[in-house]
Amino acid sequence: MSNSSQILTPDITIDITNDVCPMTFVKTRLKLEKMTPGQILEVILKDGEPLKNVPRSVTEMGDVVLDLTKMANDTGTYRLTIRKN
């Protein structure tokens, strides 16, 4: 995970801030399965279990976490950027 200054343009964005584990990862996984290799998925998620589990699970499944950044306008929301492998 890096907090790079490079702005990545996602192909798809999903918001899982209203979901709880394990649905946070399930929704992320289902979206990734529909994507083609090289595409970028942006996931908006909350602090806590989703922030801990989704990036780890994505990496374990073989996709690449490109960036994880706390959103400036909110105290508990993060932007996770993933490249489909």
Residue 76 sits in a domain whose CATH number is: 3.30.110.40
Confirm whether 21 is a catalytic residue: yes
In this structure, of 18-32, 41-55, 68-82, the range with the lowest mean pLDDT score is 68-82
Domain tally for the chain? 1
Residue 48 in domain: yes
Is residue 7 in a domain?
Answer: no
What are φ and ψ of residue 46, in 5° steps?
-95, 160
Structural domain boundaries enclosing 23: 12-83
| 64 touches 82 (CB < 8 A) | yes
Residue 4 is assigned to a structural domain of this protein: no
Of residues 8, 10, 11, 21, which has the active-site annotation? 21
- The per-residue pLDDT for 65 is 97
Let me know: does 28 contact 53? Beta carbons within 8 Å: no
- Omega before residue 22 within 30° of 0, cis: yes
Specify if 56 maps to a domain: yes
Torsional sign, CA 16, 51, 56, 84:
positive
Q: Please, which pLDDT band fits residue 42 given cuts at 50, 70 and 90? A: very high
